[in-house]
Amino acid sequence: METAAWYRRFADEMRRRSPLTAAWAEGVAADDEVLALIDRLPDQRRQPALVFACARLRGWADASWPELRERLLTRWAEVEAEALVRATQTNEPGRCAALLPALARIDWPLAIIEVGAAAGLCLQLDRYAYRYDGGPVIGGPVIGGPVVGDSRLVLDCATDGAVAPPAGLPQVVWRRGIDRAPLDAADPADAAWLRALLPADEPERRGRLDAALGIAAQDPVVVERGDAVDDLARLVAEVPDDAAPVVVTTGVLAYLPRARRERFREEVRRLGVHWVSLEFAGLYPDTAPAAVPPSDAPFLLALDGHPLAFAEPHGETLRRIPA
């Protein structure tokens, strides 16, 4: 995709959630000088989310577009150096609220393997608390027992009846993450990168991230360096015999080349494990619903490839799929 068009589309996607980011993207799309700098990057390094995160990492998160433009033109080498070694790893804990209704359909106990886990914040989904459609809070700290939730982080999700809210937290007895570039929630530099991936004008998401990082630092999860396809069988082989293995993907498969994405699906099917996915609705056209997803819910929650609901990308809303 032409870089300017890429940034225009990103501006449209971000307009509702982050007007500041939308203004940045619109500015880039209309600026030949800045586009020329970005076009020096390899194709997948030009993506708006990555370039803007690198700018935030330099301390420019609150800059207006004119201010950001000046810094990009005069200090591009700093952004470029980061963009060449970083990856987009939006470790959004809010997505766990969308995953729970799918996990509730699988017999417990569960062994969860998250592909593209970053710092593993979605692997600790049984350590958060949840509220569906304004109802009672599910989960919370257990006094005198193991932690199965943390009331410091309550994740809200509106379902409009698309799925049945879970009755409780899943029983997770084993968990592992895999990522090409794992992050450590307790490492200040890695935490700073995760914060840089979030726009400055989305304080609720930043608050969720900080709370999840705090929980992860107290009880770290294991995220191994590895490949989504080549290393999946090895992790599945480590699952305890009494647990149901579940592979989880959240907004990661779009970053794989199409052929690799197909190989991943084939490998999941070959291994005979459950797969809970929260990905762009059209990623696998042969299993995508015929209905067009709402503009504010372009993701698809699916279990074993079967669509359950359209979803807002950060887990805040689940929408019914029209018949």
CA nearest to 17, candidates 278, 198, 209, 210: 198
Query: Is 89 part of a structural domain of the chain?
Result: no
Alpha helices in 105-230 (DSSP H): 188-196, 203-218
Query: Is 88 part of a structural domain of the chain?
Result: no
One domain for residues 149 and 35: no
289, 319 contact by CB (below 8 A): no
Looking at residue 146, its pLDDT comes to 39
Domain end (from 83, 111, 142): 83
- Over range 311-323, report the average pLDDT: 94
pLDDT at 202 over 80: yes
pLDDT in tens, 5-60: 999 999 998 999 999 999 999 999 999 999 999 999 999 899 999 999 999 999 99
Q: How confident is the model at residue 78 (pLDDT cuts 50, 70, 90)?
A: very high
pLDDT at 219 over 90: no
One domain for residues 43 and 153: no
One domain for residues 75 and 103: no
- Structural tokens at position 30: 């209309």
One domain for residues 12 and 108: no
pLDDT in tens, 119-169: 999 999 999 999 999 999 998 654 333 344 455 789 999 998 989 999 999
Looking at residue 229, its pLDDT comes to 97
Looking at residue 145, its pLDDT comes to 35
One domain for residues 147 and 291: yes
CA nearest to 110, candidates 175, 183, 199: 175
Pick from 139-148, 183-192, 198-207: least confident: 139-148
Range of the domain at 182: 95-319
Query: Is 28 part of a structural domain of the chain?
Result: yes
Q: How confident is the model at residue 213 (pLDDT cuts 50, 70, 90)?
A: very high
Domain end (from 83, 105, 127): 83
One domain for residues 254 and 107: yes
One domain for residues 14 and 111: no
Query: Is 220 part of a structural domain of the chain?
Result: yes
> Which residues, at least 6 apart from 131, have a Cβ–Cβ distance to it below 8 Å?
137, 138, 154, 155, 156, 157
- 255 versus 237: the higher-pLDDT residue is 237
- Strand order of the sheet with strand 299-303? 223-225, 172-179, 110-115, 244-250, 274-280, 299-303, 306-311, 318-319
Mean pLDDT computed over every residue of the chain: 93
One domain for residues 63 and 126: no
- Structural tokens at position 187: 């490492």
One domain for residues 62 and 142: no
